[in-house]
Amino acid sequence: MAPFAVGEPLPDGTLAYFDEQDQLQQVSVHSLAADKKIDELKSKGVDEILCISVNNPFVMKAWAKTFPKNKSVKFLADGSAKYTHALGLELDLSEKGLGTRSRRFALLVDDLKVKAAN
């Protein structure tokens, strides 16, 4: 693998650290910059930022707590992946013992109509 070049985006990855209570914590590299974009998005008219995951509400609540300064992102659970299927963004990882998951995606929605999808 070649080293990264100046100007290229950082690859996403999971890193670990010990918090103040010596509990092992993990964080996604891309999540470290997430709250820095909130003001920019809000200034462009974005009303809500939602994080949807194929998981249960208890896990989503715990995940949200790992971002104690977060006041802008709502963490939503799609426990049975029905909404993920409705979007056509399901990813079957059953062979790896993970069941149905969600592909990574971002949507810009205005009045319930998708304006941009990545």
pLDDT of residue 11 exceeding 80: no
Q: Which residues contact 101 (CB under 8 A, 6 or more apart)?
A: 54, 81, 90, 91, 92, 93
Residue 3's pLDDT band (cuts 50, 70, 90): low
CATH superfamily of 40-117: Glutaredoxin (3.40.30.10)
Q: Sort residue 62 into left (φ over 0), alpha (ψ -120 to 50) or beta.
A: alpha
Residue 7's pLDDT band (cuts 50, 70, 90): confident
Look at residue 33 in the predicted model and tell me its pLDDT. 64
The model's pLDDT over 54-64, given as tens digits with 9 standing for 90+, comes to: 999 999 999 88
Domain ranges, ordered by start, for the chain: 40-117
**In Å, what is the CA distance from 110 to each residue of 6, 27, 46, 67?**
35, 30, 9, 26
pLDDT of residue 99 exceeding 70: yes
The mean pLDDT of 44-62, rounded to a whole number, is 91
pLDDT > 70: percent of the chain: 86
pLDDT of residue 4 exceeding 80: no
- The half-sphere exposure of 5 on its side-chain side, counting CA atoms within 13 A, is 3
